[in-house]
Amino acid sequence: MIGKLLGNRYEILEPLGGGGMAIIYKGRDNYLNRIVTIKILRPEFTCDEDFVKRFHREAQAVASLSHPNIVSIYDVGKEEKVHYLVMEYVKGDNLKNLIRKDGVLTPERAVEIARQVSEALQHAHENNIVHRDVKPQNILITREGRVKLTDFGIAREATTATLTQTDAVVGSVHYLSPEQARGETAGPQSDIYSLGTVLYEMVTGVLPFQGDTPIGVALKHIREDPPRPSKLNPAVKRGLENIITRAMSKLPADRYKSAQLMATELEALSLPGKVPGDRKEIVAADKFATTVIPVVGSGEEGLQHQEEINTGKYRYVWLWVSLLVLGLMAAGIVAFYLYVNVPEIKLPSVEGKTLAEARDVLQGLGLENIQVSKNSHPTVPADRIISQDPPPDTRIKVTRNVVLSVSQGPEYRTVPHVIGLTLSAARIEINKNELNVAGIDKQYNHDYPEEVVFNQDPGGDFKLPKGSGVVLYVSKGPQPVIRQVPDLTGFTLDEAGKELDKLNLILDDENAGGAASTSYFSGQVIAQNPAGGAEVEEGTAVQVTVSSGPGPSRRLARVKVDIPDDRRKHELSIVVQDAKGSNEVYFGTHAPGKKVIKEVPYYGSAYVKVYIDKELVGEQSFE
């Protein structure tokens, strides 16, 4: 594969590694002159059409992600039977190699790596994409220390094969969530479990579960709890251990509700006095539990005095409680009376009005509890009412809340520059900016290769409402030259080839057919496709059928010529045009007034022309 050019653009430079699903290469984008990573699907998966379709569809979906901690996908394509992805090239190494090299990562470094992966997963989950194969091999660390999560797409389809395929795929079983091990659908909490397992490995240097077979490891994920990280590495503090334990909970509901919550707790580890992951309830202090009651007197006198004080105190408490209950009952009766007697109105429609106009209309009807919710909208102008709750024509009391959704106008997105990109790469860039391809106009263009965008409307840096469309003008390559196919009947293959070369057409002599013919000699063209006179593009191949004989029989034509009687000699020429072509069969000089009779041979049908002194004086056809 080294040196191979994919899509007439991406040159494969050197291998970088591979896994159970794909082989990874370092490559160069010759069009944009940048280094890229090229992932090529292994041949055994290209035979499964459903898998290939899902592979391309998933790649398109993941390409819509745009996050500093996720490796970007630039292009997806197919060259013959080779299916490939073109991705951002990351200078650095994967986390698995880092763990092998260092053994155990410091808790601070492990926390920072896990935090960045959590944020990458949060972005993916918000876009309804679950990674399903979070493991150190899919976490890249740049030379500057930035984390890049990769291998979206293929992992989604690898779930069912994880326990049974090659060693590279089997390795994934060490990071499977219990629900994945049971064959259930993986969700965002499955990625959180896998990340917890990766964090466990970073701070302990070992995997939480190991076994002789993949099935054995999977069963441990379902049934067993791993050793506490602090037992393997005393440097792991309680806060970090709590985070790992919660992320690796057997039940998805017991894990973090989102990757962002996990990222927040990881970040909190750097704050003094915080113990993330410790979910003990905070009990409010009871003031009576800390009050010191002084001893009044002593002996029986003291006890009696204290009893009298308590009895009096309780009497006053009951009095105040009774008054409070009566007051609440009275207030309830008044409130009920006021509520029942509040006037009702029929709510008018204020949709489409400005906020000020809507307020005037509603307040004019006695409505005062007006709440405003501002939202973007692609068509409703700014400061206009999008909708109202309750809806128009609803009968409500004037004390009820009315919520108005007010437009902030459309959200705008910047149109990317896509001229010079392939059509598939341009789609990806436009989708990343939350815009759509509204139309594709394919035209001939001499300056850009086929399937490359040569113009766009609107142009790059133009602002459009979110979800708007961009029209792409895509090259069909140079404008083809139209030629008229010559009639090759009677030509030999060599003659036919030379005739077609003059017009930049091609003789398909490898597929030339043969057929018996009594009209044409062996080796002569008797039929062709396209037919003579047809208009085709330059470079079109013309297929011919050649005679295999026996050809036409020899015949004789009797030609009579009267030489002019003008006292001078004259030159006589007889030309025969037949299956052998056009040939002069007689030439001679004759006295004036002489009658010349000649029998001339011909093959098939013939056309005989007579010339005297090079001037045509007669012609006749013969069958």
In this prediction, residue 611 carries a pLDDT of: 95
Among 133, 151, 191, 578, the one annotated catalytic: 133
> Do residue 222 and residue 259 come from a single domain?
yes
In this prediction, residue 599 carries a pLDDT of: 92
* Spatial contact of 453 and 419, defined as CB atoms under 8 Å apart: yes
In this prediction, residue 166 carries a pLDDT of: 34
> Do residue 78 and residue 207 come from a single domain?
no
Give the CATH number of the domain where residue 437 resides.
Answer: 3.30.10.20
Q: Respond yes or no: is residue 133 known to be catalytic.
A: yes
Which residues make beta-bridge pairs with 84? Answer: 40, 77
481 burial type by CB count under 10 A (0-12 exposed, 13-18 middle, 19+ buried): exposed
In this prediction, residue 199 carries a pLDDT of: 97
In this prediction, residue 330 carries a pLDDT of: 62
In this prediction, residue 429 carries a pLDDT of: 92
Q: Whole-prediction pTM value? A: 0.46
Joined together, the tokens standing for residue 496 give: 């036919």
> Do residue 239 and residue 155 come from a single domain?
yes
* Spatial contact of 478 and 448, defined as CB atoms under 8 Å apart: no
Ranges of the chain with pLDDT below 70: 19-20, 54-55, 57-58, 61, 153-171, 270-342
In this prediction, residue 211 carries a pLDDT of: 84
In this prediction, residue 43 carries a pLDDT of: 83
In this prediction, residue 318 carries a pLDDT of: 58
Kindly write down the DSSP assignment for every residue of 462-522, as one continuous string: -EEETT-EEEEEEE--SPPPEEEPP--TT-BHHHHHHHHHTTT-EE-GGG-EEEEESSS-T
Number of domains within the chain: 7
> Do residue 492 and residue 579 come from a single domain?
no
Does residue 293 sit within a domain? no
Does residue 297 sit within a domain? no
Does residue 294 sit within a domain? no
> Do residue 432 and residue 502 come from a single domain?
no
Q: Amino acid identity of 544?
A: V
The domain of 317 spans 310-341
Pairing of strands 385-389, 412-414: unpaired
Q: Amino acid identity of 343?
A: P
> Do residue 121 and residue 252 come from a single domain?
yes
> Do residue 64 and residue 99 come from a single domain?
no
Separation CA 70–CA 150 (nearest Å): 6
> Do residue 107 and residue 224 come from a single domain?
yes
Shortest CA distance to 197 belongs to which of 94, 70, 68, 95?
Answer: 95
